[in-house]
Amino acid sequence: MKTLTHKKYSLLLLFLVLISPIGFAKKVEADRSKTINKSFQLKDGQKVSIQNKFGDVNITSSDSKQLMVEIKISVEIDNESKAQKLLDGIEIDIDESAAEIKISTEFDDDSKWKDMKDGKKIEVNYIVKMPKNYPLEVKNSFGEISLGNRNARTTIDASFGGVKIGKLLNEENSLEFQFSDPVIIDEIAGGEIELKFSKMELSKAGNLVLKSEMSTSTIDKVVKADFIVKMGGLTLTEVEDLKLKSNMSSVFVDKLYSKGDIDVNYGKLEIEMLSKDFTELKIDGDFTPIRVNLEEGLSCSIEARSKMASLNLPKGLKVDKSEDDWDVGNNEYFNGSFGSSKSQSKIVVTSSFGSISIK
C-alpha cells in the first residue's frame, strides 16, 4: 500500500514539474529590425531604379527634385542569434551615376533561403517619395506595389503580389506582371502590358499593346488596342480600334466604335454593339461561336462564310450572292448589304466549326 501511494506521489510531482515554467519548453519569437533613410537630389532626366523582394514598395509623387527613400527591414524567428544573423545578411545596395540611381535589396547566400521556412518571416518594405517627371523602374517579388501618378516613362516587373497604379501619362510604359492579383490601374496613356497568371482591372488606356496568358483582364475604355490573349479572358467596355488574336479564351466587347481585326480560336467572341459609325470589322474564327449585334441605324456591306457551322444574319439584307452547300456539311456563304447601299463600311466574317450570328 505504501508502494502504491509512493508511485502516485511521484507521478504527481513529475506532472507538476512538466507544466511548470522550468519543465515546459516555451517557444519565444525574436524580432529584429533596422530602418535605412536616404535622400538624393535628382539630376535632370536621371532614372530611379528599385529592386526588391519579400516586401512592399510604396511610391508617391512630389513636386521637388528630391528622392526620399525609407527602407524598413524586419526579421521574425524563434531564435535571437538567428534573427540577428538574418538581419545582418540583408543589405541595401546603392549605385549612383549621372544617368541612374539604383537601389536594390541584396541577400547573402546564408540568409536568402536557408532560414526562410518553418514560420519564419522576413520583410523589406520601401516607402519612396519622388518627382513624377523622372523615369522610374521597379522590380518587386513576393510583395505589393503601390504607385501614384507618373508623367515620365515607367517600367514595372512584379511577381507574386498585388499592384495598384494611378495614372501613367507617358506613352512608352512597360509593365510586366506574373502571379499578380489584383493589378489595378487607373490609366495608361500608352505602352505594353504583359500578364501571366494574373488578374487586371484597367480603367482607361490610349495606345496599348497587351500580351496575356492564363490571365483575365477587364478594361473600361481603350483607344487603340493590339492584344494577344491565350487561355484566359478579356472584357472590354469601350474600344475604338481593336486588333486581337485570341486562343482558348472568352472575349466580350460591350461596344466597338471604329475598326476591328479579330482572329479567334477555341474560345468565344461576343460584340454586344457595333457602332453605326464603324468603318471595318474583320473576324476569322475556328471552333468559336461568334456573335455581333448591330447598332440601330447601321449600314454596311456584309460578307460571311461558315464552314461546318450555322450562319444567322439580320433581316432586311440585300443579297448579292448566297450559297448553301449541304452535301459536304453545314456550309454557307453570303455577300450583300444591310441598310444604305451607299455605305463604305464593311463586315467580313469567316468561321469554321463555330456559329456566326449577326443581328
Would residue 66 count as lying in a domain? Answer: yes
Q: Return the pLDDT at 109.
A: 66
Looking at residue 316, its pLDDT comes to: 80
Domain that holds residue 120: 28-143
Cβ–Cβ under 8 Å, residues 281 and 256: yes
Confidence at residue 79, expressed as pLDDT on a 0 to 100 scale: 78
Asked if residue 5 is part of any domain, the answer here is no
Tell me whether residue 65 is in a domain. yes
For residue 268, is it within any domain? Answer: no
In a domain, 148, yes or no: no
Total H helices, total E strands in the chain: 3, 26
Q: 21 preceded by cis ω (within 30°)?
A: no
230 touches 214 (CB < 8 A): yes
Provide the pLDDT for residue 325.
Answer: 52
The pTM score is 0.88
Q: What is the 3-state secondary structure (H, E, C) of 163-220?
A: EEEEEECCCCEEEEEECCCCEEEEEEEEEEEEEECCEEEEEEEEEEEEEEECCEEEEE
pLDDT of residue 190: 98
E strand or H helix that includes residue 251: strand 250-265
How many structural domains is the chain composed of? Answer: 1
Residues in the chain where the model's pLDDT stays below 50: 1-28, 110-111, 113, 115, 326-329
Which residues on adjacent β-strands are paired with residue 71? Answer: 36, 126
Residue 155 in grid coordinates? 517600367
For residues 76 and 29, is the Cβ–Cβ distance under 8 A? yes
Rounded Cα gap, residues 342 and 224, in angstroms: 27
pLDDT of residue 31: 80
Determine contact, residues 140/155, Cβ cutoff 8 Å: no
Q: What is the pLDDT of residues 182-205, one digit of tens each?
A: 999 999 999 999 999 999 999 999
- Which pLDDT belongs to residue 300? 94
- Residue 223 in any domain: the answer is no
In this prediction, residue 84 carries a pLDDT of 85
pLDDT of 284: 98
Give me the pLDDT at residue 4, please. 42
pLDDT at 347: 97
Q: Does 180 reside within a domain?
A: no
Q: Which residues contact 134 (CB under 8 A, 6 or more apart)?
A: 42, 45, 46, 47, 48, 152
In-domain check, residue 110: yes
**CB contact at 8 A, 237 and 251:** no
